Amino acid sequence: MESRVRGQLDFVSLKKKLSIKVTEGNLSNLRELAGRMKTISRNMFKRKYGNLLGLLKVEVQVAALTALAQYYDPPLRCLTFQDFQLVPTVEEFEHILGLSMKGKVPYRYSDQHISTVTLAGILKVHPAELEGFGETFMDVLALTFYGAMLFPNMENIVDHTAINVFVAYKNHLESPVNVVLADMYGSLNLFHEFKKKKMLCCLPVLYVWFISRINKGISNAEGPVEEVLLNKPEIKGAKDWAQFFASLNGGKIRWCLPWQSRSRIISCGNFPNVPFIGTRSCINYNPVLAQRQYGYPIRGTPSPGALQPIWTHYEEGFSLDLIRQIKCAWEEVMRVEEDPRSWIIKDKMSYSRWIMERVKVIKLPFKSDFSPSEQPQPAESEEVTILKGEIKISKGSNKNI
């Protein structure tokens, strides 16, 4: 089979599609319970535990995520499409989960299970409180969310993994944001590296992350979850989503989201990128590939030194030394505005050309049914519009000199 990529690439054979099982857990009881909460209780819960109630309302189109996962590029830790890349980042997941990492440390991992005594002490379980939607009810509900939605390791069971992350957040202010992100990357990596078939990560978060990049913006939306709930995408089947992704290009992506700050983490400690400790693996992502998502064009080829992969799957071998290194690295976070490294981008090849060459190597999973003459023309991206504005301002300034 062959596929034409925007008329810029020669015919490229399609890569073999992975068999991926994406199933959303049974959240009906949680939805019923959350629906009984009054506004004051919902607001209190949101202040303590972020956007969990909002994410519970998101109607995930499983076919969209099954198709999206086919575009994962394991060595680069990103999703590579015909002329652009997308990188889930910690800042984006902060907004989706409604949990700022400010004043908190990332989840630090523990291979010791939380004792029953410790958990009982945290929850202070008493039947009267459970019936009254009090503080104990809030904690029990949040723990159920952790097991059923954030870390769905075992169906209908809140396992020790979810309990560990919940207690780390509740008792030690260790943020779950990085764990949700790490488990998403880890799950995608397991598909491609070990041919695992089941996606074990928080599906609503991944779905909201992607849809927020292709949805039309709504001015009164407070954030990505609210926007998806107010502007639900059209329901599509597997073939329709495959065609959608096959024709998706950079001009159709919302590169600038209104709630997204341009400041972001670019590296941690001695790592050239951002490492994470998840519940099943340690992994990284490469912020250098995410610049367009923050309104900055990528003007050259990312240096291989900035794309060094980190990967250890606990079932294949547990590295306490790597976990220790990652913990230490998060004590020295560098933000992009402080980054002195000029070597992370090289000028030897344009970024667009670099992606074209990359696509030839990794191949794409779907081809468009459009003939080359019928292919939708790429729209001008927000990134290009911003760049044109900067050039216009620069020219105006030069005239005044």
**Counting every residue, how long is the chain?**
401
Mean pLDDT check: name the lowest of 86-95, 104-113, 293-302, 386-395.
386-395
Residue 345 near residue 299, CB atoms below 8 Å: yes
CA pair distance 331, 187, nearest whole angstrom? 26
What is the structure's pLDDT at 139? 87
Tokens, residue 186: 């880890």
Instruction: Compute, in degrees rounded to 10, the torsion defined by CA atoms 268, 273, 271, 310.
Output: 120
CA pair distance 215, 68, nearest whole angstrom? 15
**Does 258 fall in a domain?**
yes
What is the structure's pLDDT at 138? 84
**Does 102 fall in a domain?**
yes
Q: Does residue 170 or residue 244 have the better pLDDT?
A: 244
Tell me the pLDDT band of 12, cut-offs 50, 70 and 90: low
Q: Does residue 115 or residue 372 have the better pLDDT?
A: 115
Residue 80 has pLDDT above 50, yes or no: yes
Tokens, residue 341: 């490294």
Residue 260 near residue 88, CB atoms below 8 Å: no
Tell me the pLDDT band of 108, cut-offs 50, 70 and 90: confident
What is the structure's pLDDT at 395? 58
Residue 132 has pLDDT above 80, yes or no: no
**Does 150 fall in a domain?**
yes
What is the structure's pLDDT at 195? 75
Mean pLDDT check: name the lowest of 33-42, 67-76, 301-310, 387-396.
387-396
CA pair distance 293, 86, nearest whole angstrom? 8
**How far is the CA of 102 from the CAs of 91, 94, 99, 142, 288, in angstroms?**
11, 10, 9, 20, 22
Query: Average pLDDT, whole number, for the chain?
Result: 85
**Does 86 fall in a domain?**
yes
Question: Which residue has 């990284």 as its token pair?
Answer: 284
Question: Which residue has 């075992």 as its token pair?
Answer: 154
- Structural domain boundaries enclosing 331: 15-399
* Helix (DSSP H) and strand (DSSP E) numbers for the chain: 16, 14
Residue 303 has pLDDT above 60, yes or no: yes
Q: For 176-191, how does the pLDDT look when each residue is reduced to its tens digit (9 = 90+)?
A: 999 999 999 999 999 8
> H or E element: which one contains 358?
helix 351-362
> H or E element: which one contains 235?
none
**Does 9 fall in a domain?**
no
CA pair distance 47, 390, nearest whole angstrom? 39
Alpha helix stretches (DSSP H) within 76-202: 90-97, 116-123, 127-131, 135-145, 160-172, 177-194
Instruction: Compute, in degrees rounded to 10, the torsion defined by CA atoms 148, 152, 158, 161.
Output: -140
What is the structure's pLDDT at 7? 45
> What proportion of the chain, given as a percentage, has pLDDT over 90?
59
**Does 6 fall in a domain?**
no
**Does 10 fall in a domain?**
no
DSSP characters over 379-401: PPPHHHHHHHHHHHHHHHHHHT-
**Does 119 fall in a domain?**
yes
pTM: 0.87
Residue 345's φ and ψ, nearest 5 degrees, are: -125, 130
Residue 40 near residue 130, CB atoms below 8 Å: no
CA pair distance 254, 292, nearest whole angstrom? 10
What is the structure's pLDDT at 10? 45
* Helix orientation angle between 135-145 and 160-172, rounded to the nearest 10 degrees: 130
Query: How many domains would you assign to the chain?
Result: 1
What is the structure's pLDDT at 398? 53
What is the structure's pLDDT at 156? 72
Tokens, residue 397: 């300034």
What is the structure's pLDDT at 1? 35
Phi-psi region of 98 (alpha: psi -120 to 50; beta: other; left: phi over 0): left
Tell me the pLDDT band of 127, cut-offs 50, 70 and 90: very low
Residue 227 has pLDDT above 60, yes or no: yes
Residue 362 has pLDDT above 50, yes or no: yes
Residue 119 has pLDDT above 60, yes or no: no
CA pair distance 5, 361, nearest whole angstrom? 13
Tokens, residue 215: 């949805």
CA pair distance 119, 30, nearest whole angstrom? 21
* CA 210 to chain CA mean position, Å: 8
In angstroms and rounded to an integer, the radius of gyration of the C-alpha atoms of the chain is: 22
**Cβ count near 265 (within 10 Å):** 18
Q: Does residue 147 or residue 316 have the better pLDDT?
A: 147
